[in-house]
Each structure stands twice: as C-alpha cells, then as structure tokens.
Amino acid sequence: MKKKLLDAVINKKKENVAFAIITNLENGEGCIFEKGKPLDKNFIKFEKNINLYFDKKKNGIIDGTNIFVETYFLPIKVFIVGAVHIAQYLVSFANTLNFEISIIDPRGYFASEKRFPGINIINKWPKEAFEELKPDKDSALIALTHDPKIDDPALQYAIDKKFFYIGALGSKKTHENRCDRLKKSGYTDEQIKKIFGPIGIKLGGKAAPEIALSIISQLVSEVYKKT
C-alpha cells in the first residue's frame, strides 16, 4: 500500500466513518471508497460491484477482475436499557464482537462502573439518554428492566427511529401487556411486531448467561439479515 493511501486510511479511521479500500492487484493502484462519494476514475467501471460488496460488508476479489475490495465498518451501536444481571453477561459476549455497547439506566446503584467496567454508562431516563446520544436506524435496543416506566419509552423511541433490532425481556404475558400499552399509545400492530418479545432465540436455557447468549445470538442473526 502506497504511503498516500495508507495516510488516507489512517485519517478515515480517525474520522470514525465506514469505508472500503479498493486495490487493483495487477498494478497495485488503490483508492478509498465511501458510500455516496465520487469514486476514483480508475475504478469507476467497477462501481456497481464495489457498492454490492460494500453493502454486504464483504471482502474479496470482484469476479472476473483483479479488483480487491476490503471493507471497514463502524461497530454497531447496541443500547442496553436496564443494568441487570443479564446485562453483565451480554456485555461480556458483545465485547468479543463488533458492537459498541451503552448501558442506559437511571438507577445509579445498578448502572455503575464497578458492575460494568469500561462500558459507556448513562444514568438517565431512556428518552433523555437517546436525545443526547442520537442513535439511528442502524442501532439496536435490548430492553431488560421489566419496568414500563423505563422500558416503554425506550421501545417507543426505537420504533419511531426504526432501529434494525428491538428486543424486550419478559414472559409471553409480560409482552402481551407491553403490546397493549403500546397500542394505547398509538402504535400499530405492524410497528409492535418489530419487537422481539420475549427476546432471544429459543435455546431452552434459564440461567442469566444462557439468556444472554440467546439474546446476543438473535442480535447477530439480525445483523446479517440487514446486510
């Protein structure tokens, strides 16, 4: 990689943006690709395929060419509402994956640095926290408190902003009650169906680490469905 391109890659990483390195393996020429920005003229005829690789978060050589695409993506933002025991295991799993975790819980005695070392902790109500953090549709919500005063505003925000993943902990009955409250707040059946409730894939486990594993597995599955 030429120094000019290497310097550009370093700067892009500092800017915290998603991009791809495009390299012609035959002559060593390369450039940086960013979605929606003009592509280097030497690679313009491959633009459609480069976009396809980028959208699928795929690395590799474009079929029938010497053009190699290497993608660099930002960590997916995951907001865990409720600093409960399960959240500690979720953080442990998520730290080995490409997730950027934030814990939201107004209850400081639960959401503390001691219980969640090195994690971004916001001791505020969900609505206030989200207004500060400004998440988008590429974000994920995991609601764990069982407390409607905390979980419901978070779920409403995630529905409004069209988070790609929305999950809420609780039994089938708890989820039915949750859905009833959302309907009374004006949300449609179609919007409410976006919520995974009860959250997680069916592994059959009951212990906190097993529940956390089922949640993180479902989240990973949804990540790849959206690419």
Q: What is the pLDDT of residues 69-122, one digit of tens each?
A: 999 888 889 999 999 999 999 999 988 888 999 999 999 888 999 999 999 999
Q: Are strands 99-104 and 120-122 parallel, antiparallel or unpaired?
A: parallel
The pLDDT, as a whole number, for residue 227 is 61
Please count the residues of the chain: 227
pLDDT band at 55 (very low <50, low <70, confident <90, very high): confident
The pLDDT, as a whole number, for residue 45 is 95
Domain-wise residue ranges, the chain: 3-72, 76-225
Overall fold of domain 76-225: Rossmann fold (3.40.50)
The pLDDT, as a whole number, for residue 73 is 83
The pLDDT, as a whole number, for residue 40 is 93
Distance of CA 119 to the CA centre of its chain: 15
The pLDDT, as a whole number, for residue 108 is 87
Token pair 């179609």: residue: 190
Residue-wise pLDDT tens digits, 164-212:
999 999 999 999 999 999 999 999 999 999 999 999 999 888 899 999 9
Q: What is the pTM of this model?
A: 0.79
How far is 103 from 109, CA to CA, in rounded Å? 13
Residues whose CB is less than 8 angstroms from the CB of residue 55 and which lie 6 or more positions away in sequence, other chains included:
227
User: Taking CA 136 as the corner, what is the angle to CA 48 and CA 174, rounded to the nearest 5 degrees?
Assistant: 125
Residue-wise pLDDT tens digits, 142-157:
999 999 999 999 999 9
